[in-house]
Amino acid sequence: MLALSVGPIGCGGEGAPEIMQYHLTISSTGRGSVTTPGEGTGSFTYGEGEVVDLVAEAAEGYQFAGWTGDVGTIADVSDATPSITMSDDYSITANFGSEPWDYTIELSFHCPIWWRSALGEYVYKPWIAEVEALTGSQGGRFNVTETYGDIPFVTTTSLLAISSGVVDMGQLFPETFHLGGIGYLPWFFPDMESAAYATYYLWTEGNQKWDRGELSGVKILITSPTWPVQWWGNVEVKTPADLDGVKVRCEGAEADTILALGATPVDLGTSDLAGALQTHVVDGCFFHYGGIGGWSGVGANTEYTTELNMFSRVFSLAMNKAVYDSLPAEARAALDSVCGAAKSVELAAANYAGMAADRADTETGPMWTQPAHPEWGRPIYVPTTDELDAWKDATANVAGNWIAYMDTLGFDGQGIYDRAQELIAQYEAS
């Protein structure tokens, strides 16, 4: 709050008429500034009868809403550039309010995966419906144009596409920014909800605390984890030793875990995966139930499924920061109401429920049947406790390798790891 106060002060030499001096206090509410030409803001003293010109300037997304206080000498309290004739002490407030949101804000949204994926069906489309249901006090609303697929950008350029304004909103992939790789640490997140909570705060903690500015051009709206991955392949895998020498499709930081298991990582996009399985370019992959159905073609080209629940890819829905900042304040507040950690957790729970249904379809539903036995569902092998411990032992060094790798990139690997653990514990205690 700014303040200019006026109190009478006599001045003048012996025998000279005394000129009274006054202090002026100017305050402001909302987002804006007040200046007196040539002097800026602060506390000023003026002589009696002196004319003071004021200028009220609203911040972006706000408008000047009028002067209040000792406004008897202001001809028009709605004038942002009035003059005051000093004849007493004055305390005046410049008020700023949100611009009226009375128009439709057009936003583009792009996700490089198909809308029938788990995230598209259970997270992004429901979230967009919530955004389009928002209204402002003056009738403002959002209209979101959705596109899905590799055009206008692919997964590896998702951060660049959003931060540069190719699209207003879109999906950030774990491979796109280094912090996203934490979701590839085996058995790191105990469930999807804690992953949503922890990563939202990790990605958004102030002043790019963890990411060296990678995310400075975007505003993270929600984070969206997937059900932890299973083994899908043409090689039966029950123990880590079963993967020795096996060619496994990988994405990004997933490769370190695949190497730790003795397998050979092969970098392939999802769109190439079905053909690679058919032609034995790869023997299998780690994927989740919600993405493995008919749209990916993976389920029809693999024979074995093992439920490992090893790591959760955590994606983010982000917005171009400049576009967000340019929205009317009321529109920003409305959008914020369907964003954040709590909304991420809510959508993660919905995603979990949807993928639990996908898992049931994997066992019984016609979409998931093996070509040789169209009447069957897919058998899922669930490791015993001892077998699961063997998988965890085989991948025990992956977290340390990740921390060391982050350090080589100039990040605080251990700090990120420890903070994520704190956030997981914080969510579990809430």
Q: Tell me the pLDDT tens digit for each residue of 191-229.
A: 999 999 999 999 999 777 898 888 999 999 999 999 998
pLDDT tens digits, residue range 45-104?
A: 888 888 888 888 888 778 888 999 988 888 899 999 998 888 988 888 889 887 889 999
The strand ranges marked E within 304-419 are 304-306, 314-320
User: CATH classification of 230-310+365-396, choosing from 3.40.190.170, 2.60.290.11, 3.90.600.10, 3.40.630.30?
Assistant: 3.40.190.170
Q: What are the C-alpha distances in Å from 40 to residues 2, 26, 53, 164, 421? A: 11, 11, 11, 35, 48
Q: 282 burial class (0-12, 13-18, 19+ CB within 10 angstroms)?
A: buried
Q: Residue ranges of the domains in the chain?
A: 21-98, 104-227+314-353, 230-310+365-396
Helix (H, G, I), strand (E, B), or coil: what is residue 344? helix
| Phi, psi of 93, deg, nearest 5 | -115, 130
How far apart (Å, rounded) are the C-alpha atoms in residues 344 and 351?
10
Q: What is the pTM of this model?
A: 0.80
Structure tokens at 119: 């995230």
Q: How confident is the model at residue 5 (pLDDT cuts 50, 70, 90)?
A: very low
> According to the model, what pLDDT value does residue 162 have?
97
Assign 3-state DSSP to the chain and report helix, strand, coil percentages, each to 5.
Answer: 35, 25, 40
Cα angle 419, 420, 422 (rounded to 5 degrees) comes to 65
* Residues 298, 303: Cα–Cα separation, whole Å: 10
Domains 104-227+314-353 and 230-310+365-396 share a fold: yes
pLDDT tens-digit map of 314-327:
999 999 999 999 89
The amino acid that residue 253 corresponds to is A
Instruction: Check residues 409 and 207 and name the one with the higher pLDDT.
Output: 409
Mapped onto helix, strand or coil, the DSSP state of residue 19 is coil
Q: Quick check: 175 and 192 in contact, CB under 8 A? A: no
The pLDDT value given to residue 4: 37
Structure tokens at 20: 């009274």
For 104-227+314-353, CATH gives 3.40.190.170
CB atoms within 10 A of CB 352: 20
19: pLDDT strictly greater than 70? yes
Distance of CA 253 to the CA centre of its chain: 20
CA neighbor of 41 nearest in space, from 78, 77, 92, 97 = 92
